[in-house]
A and B are shown apart, each in its own frame.
Chain A
Amino acid sequence: MKKISICLLFSVIILISGTVAAQQAKAGFIKGRVIDAEGKAIPWVQIVDAKTASGATTDLEGRYLLKVTQNQYVDLIFEHLTYQRYSTSIEVSDSVTTIPDVVLMHNNQSLGEVEIIAVSIKENPLNSYTIDKEQIEERNINDPGNLMSLIPNVATVKKSPNVGDPVVRGLKYSQLNVQLNAAAKIEGACPNRMDPVTAHIDPDDIRNIRIYKGPYALKYGVNFGGIIKIQTFQPEFTKTYKSHLRLITGMQSNHEGLRGGLKISGSNSWLSYQLTGNYKKYGDYKAGNGDVIQAGMEKQNMGVALGFKAHEKHIVSVYYDQSNGKNIDFPALPMDERNDLTRIAGLNYIITNITPTLTQLKARAWYTDVDHEMDNKNRPFSDTVVAVSKLNTHNTGAKLGALLKVGKLNFDVGADYESVFKTGDRNKNLIMQPMLPVISESLWDNARINNLGIHVEAIIPSRKADWVLAARVDVNQAESDPIFQYKTSDGKVMETDTKSQFTNFSYSASMVYHLNDKNDLFVSLGSGTRSPDMTERFVSLLPIAYDNFDYLGNPKLKPETNTEFDLGYRLKQSRWMSLEANVFFSYLTNTIVGTMENLPPNINPRTKGVFGVKRFENSSPVYLTGFELSLASPAHYNLQVLLNASYTYGMAPESFEYVIKNNSVDEVLEIQNDALAEIPPLEMNMKVSYKFLQQRLEPSLSLRVVAAQHHISKSYVEQETPGFALLNMGLKYLYNSNLSVYAGINNLFDQLYYEHLNRRILGSKSPLYEPGRLFYVNVIIKF
């Protein structure tokens, strides 16, 4: 209580200070002209004030007039479909401020640091989606994984209300490649994925999240089903010294708790720095039926990042972040997270415009380290056995890359290396036994995986059709100490041959066909191959999957391959809306699944209450198919409508059904056309908002409609889930450029609901229900 009081006091101080600091806004105007490299006017450029979201569009002569707040710095973003996005900061000191001509570079003229996957027809490359800072600030979310559900066909597996593990088009875990600041990888320590990559990053530190769906973007690393890039720091330099402060504080009812965050940043012509610190603490919550769901968590982090421009062409940046999670409840798992200490360090070095041919060289390196402790002390069975697991993982890696321009062709070539190491024990304290005996079990057996990859990507632009061709080769090695497989009457059976090595080849080809200025068709074909991960190779009899089985790793697994095809259509920002629609088909071979086939004889589970033992094996092919649809009104209108819908259908033509009787497997049946497990059902999200008071006040209504999921996996003993419709209400108030308030009510009608990918609460038939009605208010102060 005392702690909460101090935290509340801190929040009140921030609120009062912010209110006092807030100044009365006075209207001003910025006017100017937008031209291309040849000095020609560019019409239809959208200019948006990043802080207030107010906007204007250039006329046929490239001229614009934008209403802003006087006596403030205004962050302007210039966007056009065929030109590179440009942003700048302007001080508005007069009632009308005229700024020099803004020159936009055509997308094909200079790559700079713009990352291009398929064809850069606008800021979002093909098959990619971005969540930017403004969208993050509007949402009352305490985990980056849960932020991603804004994107169609992205969902999260939830074993705790506070941690979401992303699923993209039905693919998840190591089928996705999640990266921080363009390179750094983080390896979670928990075999049950309590700590997926996203759990180690505070959402208030995130500048943007970009998701590339499908196995097409091969330059970022091994890509089986998608790349998720999270950016927390990007060095920015200014002619004169500028410093900024950003404070965020918030509170919410129901899932009671508070958040506080501070960011101090600054820059001059050669230095860019950023200091961040965040704190979050939440308690349990009530579901729509009044049931209390264990949802406690406490997290804090502090980070520092520096960027140096040693020379006009040379930029070096370093960053370090240390985060600590405490007492995070995982009601769907046999343990809770007690302590998690994560350290992330990275170094990026970029040289640009070296020669007309060699336009960029990039070198990146990282080291991440996770100390993870979990236990069952809050569980009923801790009355007899107190189990405590202490685990450590680290991930070290580096990337080297170059951008080359040969005539109209652009090439991205490079190499990357990643080394993952995991170790740790589980100690079972038999607390009702004389002398307090302790049984110690190794969980990761000092397992290590090394991956070395090289890639080449060619971008071939033309007036009507733009192509991107990419390929990569990976050499993957893995090894661990001998791993426990099972027990016989004579003793333990250990797997001693744990070594494996694979050479994997991936490729992709994408094409955008420009029907006219407003309409594009795009098509992609790619094949991504990944080697088995730590869990699939080395896990030793732990209940880690949706089904209630102990899982056994298989060091001799082969890599699995995803061959995917995408077909899409994009209506670029017209006067009325922008629209993007696409369908995909994925064909997975050597699919890695858990199965009871080929198990050694007389093998018994190690966990009480599970149905049996499954081992990871390569199985027959499976496929996934689905669609995504996104529709948005132009950003400069007061009335904003956003709509998206998505669906994924996953099928295993050949599979097994496990018939459970008396809590054990009674019969194994060979079946055909079994659904793939943990695939989200058909869903539709819609948000309608209107901007009042010169676009400073924006109330919104969000509707989420999710269909029931009846297409469930018999092989994974999956259960059907009902559909639901959810209504949220939000209010954004931009008092001035210093003070913003975001408030709202989630689950307005106090519905009892849960997502299909929410796991069930352990030891009960109850699903992990989402919170009932919840009020929140978040305040952001910026100077």
Chain B
Amino acid sequence: MTMKIYLWIPIFLLAIVACNTTEQKKVSYQGTKAISAYDLYYTDANQQLHDIEVEAKSAQDIWTLEFMADPGAIVYLSGKYEDDQSALKLLILIDGKVYKQAENQGDTLKFLTVSGSIPYD
């Protein structure tokens, strides 16, 4: 009887661990439609804010960043350009599906921002 009792412990622990795993999501940031350089601000998997300058040569150029993140993580992509002939389209995809997107054209004053938090199932 005593042996039988202890056999249940690993089964139960295994079940708890299995029930407690969190499935991460694949996040993709995309920037496109710009014909000249633009500044981008984005958060990464660790919620750190980064800023980079993207050298775009044509409207077909696509800047992409991908990472895995937990549900609830803040996703943030914000950009601005100086060339009033340019445009910008920003997208956030989660597991390959568009989560947020926005675009503008010739607006050199405002930041274009898409953001949110990765939904819980």
Residues of A bordering B, CB below 8 Å: 2-3, 6-7, 10, 13, 243-245, 247, 260, 262, 264, 275, 277, 279, 281, 298, 300, 302, 324, 327, 338, 375, 377-378, 382-383, 386, 429, 431-436, 783
Contact = CB atoms under 8 A, between A and B. Distances in A.
Interface stretch (B7-15, B24-32, B57-65): B7-15
Given A245-B4, A277-B13, A378-B119, 9 more contacts: A3-B21, A6-B15, A7-B15, A300-B20, A327-B120, A382-B116, A386-B117, A435-B49, A783-B1
Nearest to A329: B120
Nearest to A375: B72
Contacts of B76: 431, 436
Nearest to A2: B23
A6 B19 contact: yes
B16 interface: yes
Nearest to A17: B8
A557 to B, nearest CB: 37
A435 B12 CA distance: 46
A409 B18 CA distance: 57
A435 B39 CA distance: 11
A355 to B, nearest CB: 40
A516 B1 CA distance: 50
24 contacts: A3-B23, A6-B15, A6-B18, A7-B15, A7-B18, A10-B11, A10-B18, A243-B1, A244-B5, A245-B4, A264-B6, A277-B12, A279-B15, A281-B19, A327-B120, A377-B120, A383-B116, A431-B115, A434-B78, A434-B113, A436-B41, A436-B76, A436-B78, A783-B5
Contacts of A429: 74
A262 to B, nearest CB: 4
Contact of A378 (B8, B74, B80, B120): B120
Contact of B19 (A7, A13, A386): A7
A639 B115 CA distance: 63
A431 B92 CA distance: 14
A436 B1 contact: no
Nearest to B72: A377
A3 B74 CA distance: 24
B49 A279 contact: no
B21 A431 contact: no
Interface in B44-84: 49, 72, 74, 76, 78, 80
B116 A13 contact: no
A521 B38 CA distance: 85
Nearest to B42: A436
Contacts of A382: 116-117
Given A243-B2, A435-B41, A436-B76, A10 B117 contact: no
B4 to A, nearest CB: 7
Nearest to A258: B19
A13 B49 CA distance: 47
A13 B7 CA distance: 13
Interface in B104-121: 111, 113, 115-117, 119-120
A298 B120 CA distance: 13
Contacts of B43: 436
Contacts of B119: 377-378
A375 B16 CA distance: 25
Contacts of B4: 245, 783
Nearest to B78: A434
Contacts of A783: 1, 4-5
Q: What interface size band does chain B fall in?
A: 20 to 34
Nearest to B13: A277
A429 B76 CA distance: 10
Nearest to A244: B5
> Of B12, B72, B116, which is in contact with the most chain A CB atoms at under 10 Å from its CB?
B12
A302 B23 CA distance: 23
B76 to A, nearest CB: 5
Nearest to A5: B18
Contacts of B120: 327, 377-378
A779 to B, nearest CB: 14
A435 B51 CA distance: 9
User: Which 5 A/B pairs are nearest by Cβ-Cβ distance?
Assistant: A431-B115, A10-B15, A6-B18, A434-B111, A377-B117
Nearest to A262: B12
B93 to A, nearest CB: 17
Contacts of A432: 113, 115
A431 B41 contact: no
Contacts of A433: 113
Contact of A264 (B8, B20, B41): B8
A279 B113 contact: no
A436 B49 contact: yes
Given A6-B15, A7-B18, A279-B19, A386 B74 contact: yes
B15 A431 contact: no
A134 B1 CA distance: 24
Given A3-B21, A7-B18, A243-B1, A262 B8 contact: yes
Contacts of A3: 18-19, 21, 23
B18 A264 contact: no
B111 A300 contact: no
Nearest to A302: B16
A427 to B, nearest CB: 10
Contact of B74 (A2, A10, A431): A431
A247 B12 CA distance: 10
B19 to A, nearest CB: 5
B29 to A, nearest CB: 14
A429 B75 CA distance: 11
Contacts of A298: 19
Given A3-B21, A281-B19, A431 B8 contact: no
Contacts of A436: 41, 43, 49, 74, 76, 78, 115
Nearest to B115: A431
Contacts of A262: 8-9, 12
A431 B6 CA distance: 51
A638 to B, nearest CB: 33
A377 B72 CA distance: 7
A372 to B, nearest CB: 15
A723 B19 CA distance: 40
A260 B21 CA distance: 16
Nearest to A247: B8
Contacts of A386: 74, 116-117
Nearest to A4: B19
Contacts of B16: 277, 279, 300, 302
A375 to B, nearest CB: 7
A98 B10 CA distance: 40
A294 to B, nearest CB: 11
A6 B18 CA distance: 7
B117 to A, nearest CB: 4
Given A377-B117, A432-B115, A436-B41, A13 B11 contact: yes
Contacts of B49: 435-436
Contacts of B41: 434-436
A566 to B, nearest CB: 45
A436 B76 CA distance: 8
A6 to B, nearest CB: 4
Nearest to A241: B2
B101 to A, nearest CB: 14
A262 B9 CA distance: 8
A3 B111 CA distance: 41
A560 B113 CA distance: 52
A281 B41 CA distance: 38
Contacts of A245: 4-5, 8
Contacts of A279: 15-16, 19
B116 A300 contact: no
Contacts of A264: 5-6, 8-9
B72 to A, nearest CB: 6
Nearest to B100: A383
Contacts of B74: 386, 429, 431, 436
Contacts of B19: 3, 6-7, 10, 279, 281, 298, 300
